[in-house]
Amino acid sequence: MRTNRLKGSLSLGAAVILTLLSASWGQNTPGQQEKWMGTESHIGNLTGHASAAKTDYRRYCTGCHGDLGDGQGENAPWLDPKPRDFTIAQFKCRSTPTGTLPTDEDLYNTIARGLDNSNMPPWNTFTKQQRADLVAYVKHFSAKWQSEKSGTPIQVPPQPEVTADRIQAGQALFKRLECWKCHGVEGRGNGPSADTLTDDLNRPIKPFNFHDGTRFKCGTSNADLYKIFMTGLDGTPMPSFADNVKPEEAWDLVLYLRTLQPMNTKEKQIAKQLGLKPIDPNAPAPAAAPQQ
Amino acid sequence: MKAGHKIAVMSSALLVLAVGFLYPGKNVSAASEGKITGTIKLDGTAPRQRPIDMSKEPSCAKIHESNPVHMENVVAGANGALQNVVVYVSEGLTGNEASAVSSETPTWDQKGCQYIPHVMALNPNQHFKVTNSDQTSHNIHPMPKQGGPNHEWNKSQPTGAPPFDIFWTNEEIAVPVKCNIHPWMHGYMAVVKGPNAVSDASGSFTINLPPGSYTVTAWQEELGTQTQKVTVGAGKPATADFTFKAK
């Protein structure tokens, strides 16, 4: 009887301490994360459960992302870029505005697609249910998912027809928005500010070289490219342009950027016919800037 | 029965008293008589502030041609007057200071490839405006503590773009801000509750506060924080001078 009572008061004490811990901000403790094991994800009709992903996470993810989801797995010291720290809840590939949480679908797509130019492979061997469960597991690591909702995804209007006018307007934007300051006048990732760029961990980071690859970090489609510069890649120097680029203009920029890439596209053929030259940052802007 | 009656009378009397105490309290705060003034000094030699080479951004380099700009980590003037120190009340706020909190919408300007001001103090949920007065694009990239309650964000603001309005939801001393395109651009936004001030070029500051006892903290980006207890009376300004030791 007495021991029972002692046990009771001990567990009460533990409960009080746990509550106190969870009341203080930004302190993710293993106990707290365990508490959030009930976290769910919703992707279309799928519902993911964090508790169902325990085994998969420990088997496939812990090596890099760590048991606590803090990006400090045993492989982490040898990786560049560093594995994502899920306790911060900050993600590059989002359909949501800069400074907001991504949608469950964004995380789901990242797991399925992997991240180009990093050690994160595409996990397309998992079933859809497994991936949805892992999304919930990724979320259970941070207090942010308990207190905040995902941002509202930006709308990507249907892609307009590829025309010479649009490609030229896109090039004018590339100059006006000063994309070239980092990405270079030819989009080779060698602009005047390229050498000094650092990510949030203060590690050097390179701007994307459009001539190098056919794929982007956050996807391969035109809509993915649209989302990258409109929402920005949080945690990197790449800002969001959504405040100052209209949807129409954003498509112009997408079409122009495709002319810089190595694959043979309709955009590239048109650029060739136009004899499109790289921008000259020192040339004065045309008197009447093409406004679409 | 009689005893119960007594208790009821006493408690209602107490209630009336309590209400009576609360109301004058509000009136005093509305009048907001008190204030704290002070000067912030640097003890020792100010560290050399490296000149900034803006040749990579000709439009900005041109602005500073005749008057080159320097880093602003420690800005000390005559007699060691220390500028850009955030002063705020770290203890003793009662919630009656609302009238003393600035209701302005301050501006965070990017001018000559510098942040003007270099340090800004804000309350949580106080809106501020971000403007670009330059002939070049900037990206405004505040980097709050990772894992903390504030979110990092990163927005491009091309030349001629309209100002945008934004705010911080949570206290944080202080959020560093940078521009990745122009890596020398650096500043801080201090998000603190209640009345606050940032010391000016003569190192002085003024905080309006209702009378009471407070702990006041001064924060400098390189030299850390200092605190002292201050009692503010009605009518007469209280003084709180701070001295930071040069590193």
- The amino acid that residue B41 corresponds to is K
Q: What is the pLDDT of residue B103?
A: 79
Q: What is the pLDDT of residue A6?
A: 52
- The mean pLDDT value for B219-246 works out to 93
Phi, then psi, of B26 in degrees rounded to 5? -65, -40
Q: Is residue A290 part of a domain?
A: no
Average the pLDDT over each of A119-128, B2-11, B79-88 and give the range with the smallest value: B2-11
Contact A218, A233 (CB under 8 A): yes
Cβ–Cβ of A99/B151 closer than 8 Å?
Answer: yes
Q: What is the pLDDT of residue A158?
A: 96
Same domain, A142 and A39: yes
The answer to whether B93 contacts chain A (CB < 8 Å) is no
Cβ–Cβ of A26/B147 closer than 8 Å?
Answer: yes
Nearest CA in chain B to A282: B58
Query: Each residue of B161-184: pLDDT tens digit?
Result: 999 999 999 999 999 999 999 999
Tokens of A130: 């497994």
- Share of chain A residues as helix, strand and coil, in percent rounded to the nearest 5: 45, 5, 50
Give the closest residue to B97 by CA, choosing from B123, B127, B119, B120.
B123
Per-residue confidence band for A21, with pLDDT thresholds at 50, 70 and 90: very low
Tokens of A177: 């928005």
* pLDDT: which is higher, B64 or B95: B64
Contact B189, B83 (CB under 8 A): no
- Of the residues B59, B60, B139, B166, the best mutation for testing chain A's interface (the one with the most A CB atoms within 10 Å of its CB) is B139
Helix (H, G, I), strand (E, B) or coil at A214: coil
Residue B90 C-alpha, separation from nearest chain A C-alpha, in angstroms: 18
Same domain, A130 and A54: yes
- The mean pLDDT value for B132-148 works out to 94
- The mean pLDDT value for B186-207 works out to 96
Between CA A116 and CA A121, with CA A117 as vertex, the angle to 5 degrees is 50
Largest CA distance in chain B: 90
Q: Is residue A8 part of a domain?
A: no
**pLDDT averaged over every residue in chain B:** 87
Domain count, chain A: 2
Q: Is residue A121 part of a domain?
A: yes
Contact residues, chain A, for B140 at CB < 8 Å: 239
Rounded distance, CA A187 to CA A94, Å?
23
* pLDDT: which is higher, B142 or A30: B142
Cβ–Cβ of A193/B180 closer than 8 Å?
Answer: yes
Same domain, A142 and A168: no
Contact B36, B230 (CB under 8 A): yes
For position A208, which CATH number holds? 1.10.760.10
Nearest CA in chain B to A148: B149
Chains A–B, number of C-beta pairs less than 8 Å apart: 87
For position A66, which CATH number holds? 1.10.760
Q: Is residue A226 part of a domain?
A: yes
Cβ–Cβ of B180/A90 closer than 8 Å?
Answer: no
User: Which DSSP symbol is given to B70?
Assistant: B
Q: What is the pLDDT of residue B22?
A: 42
> Beta partners for B1?
none
Query: Each residue of A107-130: pLDDT tens digit?
Result: 999 999 999 889 999 998 999 999
Contact residues, chain A, for B182 at CB < 8 Å: 193
Q: Is residue A190 part of a domain?
A: yes
Find where tokens 């949805």 sit.
Answer: A132
Contacts for A48 with CB less than 8 Å, ≥ 6 apart: A40, A41, A42, A104, A129, A131, A132, A133, A134, A135, A136, A137
How large a percentage of chain B has pLDDT more than 70? 87
The answer to whether B145 contacts chain A (CB < 8 Å) is yes
Average the pLDDT over each of A71-80, A212-221, B26-35 and give the range with the smallest value: B26-35
Same domain, A91 and A194: no
| Residue A29 C-alpha from the chain's centroid | 25
Same domain, A107 and A179: no
**Nearest CB to A240: which of B154, B170, B181?**
B154
- Of the residues A32, A68, A196, the best mutation for testing chain B's interface (the one with the most B CB atoms within 10 Å of its CB) is A196
Same domain, A99 and A198: no
Query: Each residue of A227-277: pLDDT tens digit?
Result: 999 999 999 999 999 999 999 999 999 999 999 999 889 999 999 999 999
**Residue B106 clears pLDDT 50, i.e. is over it:** yes
Residue B86 C-alpha, separation from nearest chain A C-alpha, in angstroms: 23
Same domain, A134 and A48: yes
Give the closest residue to B196 by CA, choosing from B107, B80, B93.
B93
**pLDDT averaged over every residue in chain A:** 89
Q: What is the pLDDT of residue A8?
A: 54
HSE at residue B133, side-chain half, CA atoms within 13 A, is 12
Per-residue confidence band for B124, with pLDDT thresholds at 50, 70 and 90: very high
**Residue B154 clears pLDDT 80, i.e. is over it:** yes
Same domain, A138 and A190: no
Q: Is residue A9 part of a domain?
A: no
Between CA A259 and CA A267, with CA A263 as vertex, the angle to 5 degrees is 30
* pLDDT: which is higher, B226 or B11: B226
Tokens of A196: 């000094």
Q: Is residue A15 part of a domain?
A: no
Largest CA distance in chain A: 90
**Nearest CB to A240: which of B136, B151, B156?**
B156
Same domain, A141 and A173: no
Give the closest residue to B41 by CA, choosing from B240, B196, B215.
B240
**Residue A222 clears pLDDT 50, i.e. is over it:** yes
Same domain, A225 and A256: yes
Average the pLDDT over each of A20-24, A207-211, B8-12, B29-33 and give the range with the smallest value: A20-24
Q: Is residue A223 part of a domain?
A: yes
Same domain, A113 and A53: yes
Contacts for A183 with CB less than 8 Å, ≥ 6 apart: A189, A191, A194, A207, A208, A209, A210
Residue B155 C-alpha, separation from nearest chain A C-alpha, in angstroms: 5
- Of the residues B154, B170, B171, B191, the best mutation for testing chain A's interface (the one with the most A CB atoms within 10 Å of its CB) is B154
Q: What is the pLDDT of residue B13?
A: 46
Give residue A172's domain range: 164-274
**Residue A3 clears pLDDT 70, i.e. is over it:** no
Integer angstrom CA distances of residue A196 from A89, A191, B137: 26, 10, 16
The answer to whether B178 contacts chain A (CB < 8 Å) is no
Query: Each residue of A161-220: pLDDT tens digit?
Result: 999 999 999 999 999 999 999 999 999 999 999 999 999 989 999 999 999 888 899 999
Tokens of A25: 């901000």
Cβ–Cβ of A182/B180 closer than 8 Å?
Answer: yes
> Beta partners for B89?
B216
Per-residue confidence band for A34, with pLDDT thresholds at 50, 70 and 90: confident
- The mean pLDDT value for B124-146 works out to 95
